[in-house]
Structure 1
Amino acid sequence: MSNALLSSLYPQHLATLQARAAEALRRGGFDHLLIPSGTLHYQAFDDRDYPYAVNPQFKAWLPLTQAPGSWLLITPGQRPKLVFLQPHDYWHVVPEMPSGYWVEHFDIEVIRNADEVTRLLPSVFRCAILGEAQSALGSYVPNNPEPVLQYLEYHRAFKTPYEIEMMRRASRIGARAHRAAERAFRAGSSEFGIHLAYCQIAGQDANDLPYGNIVALNEHGAVLHYTHRDRLPPTPVRSFLIDAGASFGGYASDITRTYSAADDEFAAMIRAVDAAQLALCDQVRAGTNYARIHLDAHLRLAGVLREFGVLRTTPEDALASGVSSAFFPHGIGHGIGLQVHDVAGFAASDAGGSIAKPEGHPYLRLTRTLEPGMVVTIEPGIYFIDMLLDELKQKGLGDAVDWQRVEMFKPYGGIRIEDDVVCTDGEPINLTREAFAQG
């Protein structure tokens, strides 16, 4: 895949980050922004390390995701500096010298020992240091000043054209892997086998993927974050729900699809949820309150449940009474970018404050009004979860449900369909559907 487009988009992305950094530092009263890439963490009472995860504040600047012990120095009016740790080591693979379209924009200093970085950094007293506590090096201890973080995280919601292209490429990888997963499902593979097929085509394993794959057959689709992955397929196989993403240069895609093993009534319900999901994706427009999309999702999904004879009440009554939440218990989605659940979903402004969730909807992850450049997921779902259905009965709301129809659909687990959607000045861009259309 050519990097010519990324090379042309990157300078404007870097300029945007430098402008944001300058304003964040002004608000916090600092002269320099220091960002450690993060370090390896070792398990207690052991010499095994946890999987390394790069600091999101670090990979926002450059597509360098495997460089533990490195640091970025951002000083307004100067070229950004990368202090790159490339240790002498024969026990582990040493990170390769940085290369690619972005390196010409940085001053790069190579060090062989982590402690060497201190001679290349400015006085700690004028630095905003963004990172986790384990990244501390001598007096360079992450202080994560709130005015700086609030500003940077609020504006991280607005993706540059470079970032959208990075996410587009992550979506293409994810779509290809999803097609492989569906083929494995149709061929009779187990959850574990489907997971391996996905990882092989994505070219990414558990340490590369942006989150743990959810690969669920039959009733397991009713477990929202199911990651157990049975080694043998159930008998019979009725349904398949996969929630799995991919990474590209530090950016994530997040895609969910649901399939029925046969062209049956559950397959028809999947098609109905898919139609509702596309209508919700079309609401990702500038000026739209994201919480409104969430509430509209409840109405649309309750309409599907009524159409299929599961609900006896109207969509409006189902939403008002909380009945719809028993079948759709999570939020409609979240921001996405450098992290699958991107930051500042509730931020009222770049100076702090928060926007409350709608009452009775505690799991919504984003309440901001959409603006051009924001990228969000839209993931409506219908599930048949015993615990939540039992609660409906205990609350005296059982008459709103046809329990025979529930029993018919319970062996299928649930349905979730999720796309990554860009808000623009006009029609939204659905990165996921675009990726699937490319084959």
Structure 2
Amino acid sequence: MFDTKVYKNRRQKLATAVKKGLMLFLGNDESPMNATANTYRYRQDSTFRYLFGINSPGFAAVIDIDNGKEYIFANDFEIDDIIWMGTQPKVKDIAAQVGVNETMPLKKLDSFLSQNIDREIHYLPPYRANNILRISNLLGIKYTYVQSKASEKLIKALVDMRSKKEAIEIEEIRKACNIAYDMHTTAMRMCHPGVSEREIAGAIEGVALSQGAGISFPIILSQNGQTLHNHSHDGILTKGRLMLTDCGAEGLTGYASDCTRTSPVGGEFTTKQKEIYSIVLKVNNTIKDLARPGETYKKLHLIACKIMAEGLKDLGIMKGDVENAVKVGAHALFMPHGLGHMMGMDVHDMEDYGEDYVGYNDKVKRSEQFGLAYLRLGRKLEEDFVITNEPGIYFIPDLINLWKSENKFTDFINYDKLNDYLDFGGVRLEDDLLITKKGCEILGDKRIPITIDEVQDCIKSGR
């Protein structure tokens, strides 16, 4: 938890932006794993934690903008709870830590809102089913309309606030990136023939847990790196293949990291692997050099695609005019995702508000073109944004065979050459960038090994 002033200032800034009415915030409850008393690891709603700093279940809050009052609704623990959990603080003491003086039992929330139902009540689109039901019951809104009636004014005000990270937030993200460094170098040192993917995935999740953190999303670790979000860890590492590892930590204050590296099993890239890897590395480094305030990430994404297409053309995999190939989306056969996204308290920051509110605006609209449509962040970059830079090249047999059967983009794609890459997998290289006054910096005290020599040396150090 940060200093009390941090949360008070955030709430005051938000109230000033929204101007009038009530703002309702529901914290997350615990989620049962297989029975109500046996729950998954608790995860607080990011907005609730951002504004109120409380990382416990059973809380709700209201900010009354018109009357300048703030309320926290929660129940004190009873002796039956304390027997199992130990001594617990009182709700009023927790509220005081974050600068809220008015507290009520949770059951009072219903009557409080009923008394104010004729006023404008702002809430965010809920993403958990129980909170959709709660808002439906609290505000008398039909269940199917709850998300569509969320307050756009509140969404836009919070996106404006949370997009530019405070110094204390940047420091927390940096800590999470340092844990990611340990996670990735551990994975590299274990990247040897005969080791199971699940053994490595378990070990690097343990690295995060051992430093008081958790994972910021389910670990992606697989020799089948052509599957973009591959959470299967059933494979046994085989010499000559590539292991793609995409993972990050969520620190004690809830801030995330998200990094990806691709490692040759056994410690030596083949010539073919070096060629593809070098293209992706060139894209990553170029975007790092170009990212700065004033540039739109959509423009940088397209620059990345052109560099990738040029590299693939040099290898005979693509052909024809590179500008036209990217214009029509032929390159997306090899990178059918966006260059990156916002990052903060959520690994895809504020995605629960709606991606287009976070990554786009009135000046930059989302494309409908395959590949480019998956770019989560297209808008102009600003100082103190934290974003990911994650280009990749993938050889997806199902997609290749589909496009080939449709004779799609035959002026730009050499399908015969692709027969040699159907078992390649994929390469992705991802860093977390802080946009600075004149450019950007990679967050973390040290960059995770990324050059061919650095990666090979790290793997070999684990023998």
- In the TM superposition, 1:140-219 aligns within 5 A as 140-141=138-139, 144-186=150-192, 188-203=194-209, 208-217=214-223
CA deviations over 1:238-258 (Å, ceiling 9, x no partner)? 111011111021221111111
Establish whether residue 71 from structure 1 lines up as the match of residue 60 from structure 2: yes
Q: Which residue of 1 aligns with 2:440?
A: 428
Q: Which residue of 2 aligns with 1:38?
A: 28
Establish whether residue 387 from structure 1 lines up as the match of residue 376 from structure 2: no
Q: Kindly tell me: are residues 18 and 198 of structure 1, through their superposed partners in 2, closer, same or farther at Cα, counting changes over 3 Å?
A: same
Q: Kindly tell me: are residues 385 and 182 of structure 1, through their superposed partners in 2, closer, same or farther at Cα, counting changes over 3 Å?
A: same
Kept after mapping to 2: 8 A contact 1:254/1:418: yes
Secondary structure of 1:221's counterpart equals coil
Partners in 1 of 2:383 and 2:90 — Cα distance? 32
Kept after mapping to 1: 8 A contact 2:319/2:412: yes
Per the TM alignment, residue 303 of structure 1 is displaced from its structure 2 partner at its CA by 1.9
Q: Which residue of 2 aligns with 1:233?
A: 236
Secondary structure of 2:122's counterpart equals strand
Per the TM alignment, residue 296 of structure 1 is displaced from its structure 2 partner at its CA by 0.9
Q: Kindly tell me: are residues 42 and 354 of structure 1, through their superposed partners in 2, closer, same or farther at Cα, counting changes over 3 Å?
A: farther
Partners in 2 of 1:255 and 1:134 — Cα distance? 32
Q: Which residue of 2 aligns with 1:358?
A: 367
- In the TM superposition, 1:242-391 aligns within 5 A as 242-248=245-251, 249-261=253-265, 262-265=268-271, 266-343=273-350, 345-347=355-357, 355-360=364-369, 361-391=372-402
Per the TM alignment, residue 75 of structure 1 is displaced from its structure 2 partner at its CA by 4.8
Partners in 1 of 2:176 and 2:373 — Cα distance? 29
Kept after mapping to 1: 8 A contact 2:343/2:349: yes
Kept after mapping to 1: 8 A contact 2:222/2:230: yes
Kept after mapping to 1: 8 A contact 2:259/2:432: yes
Q: Kindly tell me: are residues 291 and 47 of structure 1, through their superposed partners in 2, closer, same or farther at Cα, counting changes over 3 Å?
A: same
Q: Kindly tell me: are residues 236 and 187 of structure 1, through their superposed partners in 2, closer, same or farther at Cα, counting changes over 3 Å?
A: closer
Secondary structure of 1:21's counterpart equals helix
Partners in 1 of 2:243 and 2:90 — Cα distance? 41
Q: Which residue of 2 aligns with 1:21?
A: 14
Q: Kindly tell me: are residues 358 and 237 of structure 1, through their superposed partners in 2, closer, same or farther at Cα, counting changes over 3 Å?
A: same
Partners in 2 of 1:178 and 1:101 — Cα distance? 37
Secondary structure of 2:51's counterpart equals coil
Secondary structure of 1:358's counterpart equals coil
Residue segments in structure 1 that go unaligned for 5+ positions in a row: none
Establish whether residue 115 from structure 1 lines up as the match of residue 122 from structure 2: no
Kept after mapping to 2: 8 A contact 1:347/1:355: no
Q: Kindly tell me: are residues 314 and 86 of structure 1, through their superposed partners in 2, closer, same or farther at Cα, counting changes over 3 Å?
A: farther
Partners in 2 of 1:236 and 1:179 — Cα distance? 19
Secondary structure of 2:437's counterpart equals coil
Partners in 1 of 2:337 and 2:90 — Cα distance? 41
Moved more, 76-85 or 296-305: 76-85
Kept after mapping to 2: 8 A contact 1:36/1:71: yes
Establish whether residue 410 from structure 1 lines up as the match of residue 422 from structure 2: yes
Kept after mapping to 1: 8 A contact 2:220/2:245: yes
Equivalent residue letter for 1:158: K
- In the TM superposition, 1:82-93 aligns within 5 A as 82-83=72-73, 85-88=75-78, 89=81, 93=85
Q: Kindly tell me: are residues 33 and 110 of structure 1, through their superposed partners in 2, closer, same or farther at Cα, counting changes over 3 Å?
A: closer
Per the TM alignment, residue 208 of structure 1 is displaced from its structure 2 partner at its CA by 3.7
Kept after mapping to 2: 8 A contact 1:256/1:419: yes
CA deviations over 1:355-392 (Å, ceiling 9, x no partner)? 42235222111221111122211111100011221233
Per the TM alignment, residue 423 of structure 1 is displaced from its structure 2 partner at its CA by 1.7
Establish whether residue 222 from structure 1 lines up as the match of residue 226 from structure 2: yes
Kept after mapping to 2: 8 A contact 1:347/1:353: no
Partners in 1 of 2:35 and 2:54 — Cα distance? 30
Q: Kindly tell me: are residues 101 and 162 of structure 1, through their superposed partners in 2, closer, same or farther at Cα, counting changes over 3 Å?
A: farther
Kept after mapping to 2: 8 A contact 1:79/1:105: no
Kept after mapping to 1: 8 A contact 2:178/2:445: no
Partners in 1 of 2:358 and 2:38 — Cα distance? 41
Task: Please report the TM-score for the alignment, with normalisation by the length of structure 1.
Answer: 0.81
Secondary structure of 1:429's counterpart equals strand
Partners in 2 of 1:411 and 1:241 — Cα distance? 14
Kept after mapping to 1: 8 A contact 2:159/2:358: no
Partners in 1 of 2:307 and 2:413 — Cα distance? 16
Establish whether residue 134 from structure 1 lines up as the match of residue 124 from structure 2: no
Kept after mapping to 1: 8 A contact 2:217/2:248: yes
Kept after mapping to 1: 8 A contact 2:225/2:425: yes
Partners in 1 of 2:47 and 2:90 — Cα distance? 18
Partners in 1 of 2:18 and 2:115 — Cα distance? 15
Kept after mapping to 1: 8 A contact 2:193/2:239: no
Q: Kindly tell me: are residues 109 and 97 of structure 1, through their superposed partners in 2, closer, same or farther at Cα, counting changes over 3 Å?
A: farther
Q: Kindly tell me: are residues 272 and 433 of structure 1, through their superposed partners in 2, closer, same or farther at Cα, counting changes over 3 Å?
A: farther
Secondary structure of 1:366's counterpart equals coil
Kept after mapping to 1: 8 A contact 2:193/2:238: no
Partners in 1 of 2:278 and 2:94 — Cα distance? 43
Kept after mapping to 2: 8 A contact 1:79/1:106: no
Question: Would you say how many aligned residue pairs link Structure 1 and Structure 2?
Answer: 421
Partners in 2 of 1:348 and 1:200 — Cα distance? 32
Partners in 2 of 1:53 and 1:362 — Cα distance? 30
Secondary structure of 2:309's counterpart equals helix
Partners in 2 of 1:75 and 1:287 — Cα distance? 36
Partners in 1 of 2:438 and 2:181 — Cα distance? 25
Partners in 2 of 1:309 and 1:228 — Cα distance? 32
CA deviations over 1:195-223 (Å, ceiling 9, x no partner)? 11111111179x94221110011xx1000
Per the TM alignment, residue 172 of structure 1 is displaced from its structure 2 partner at its CA by 1.3
Kept after mapping to 2: 8 A contact 1:346/1:368: no
Partners in 2 of 1:166 and 1:53 — Cα distance? 17
Secondary structure of 2:246's counterpart equals strand
